[in-house]
Amino acid sequence: MGEHGTSEVLLWSSASVGGISVTDLLTQDGRSVEDTRGEIENDIRYANITIIEGTGASQYGIGAVSARLVEAVLRDERAVLPVAAYSSRYKVTLSLSSVLGAGGVQQMHVPTMTPEEHQALLESAQVLRDAAERAVAVATT
């Protein structure tokens, strides 16, 4: 949730696979949950660098995601995806769980999260607001 980048927020508290908490699944391999989470978070935050190192550019990842989003819009799937749109609640464009269909983002939902995850989302929103302010300042000078 939040920014797509280094301040993005991974909602470990509400993540599940097949109805099983991801945190519970992570304890089953004998590794430290904190170490595994840290490794996964790092891999996700810097995935673009891995893609660029492997292919020389990131257009393949961008293309795959763009194709999926276009498919959801054209088919009016009303798919729930972490899509960025303006949120009046956070006063910035950021990714939240959003319903995507023929009209674009039709609804945005804030998933259940821990107080720490919520604070991280507020911080991510601030990173985005700060970046927007810098962009406007450059554009108006």
To the query of whether residue 118 is one of the catalytic residues in this protein, the response is no
One of 3, 4, 95, 98 is an active-site residue; which one?
A: 4
CA distance 56 to 78: 34
Residue type, 140: T
CA distance 84 to 82: 7
Strands (E), the chain: 16-17, 20-21, 79-87, 92-101, 104-109
Active site residues: 4
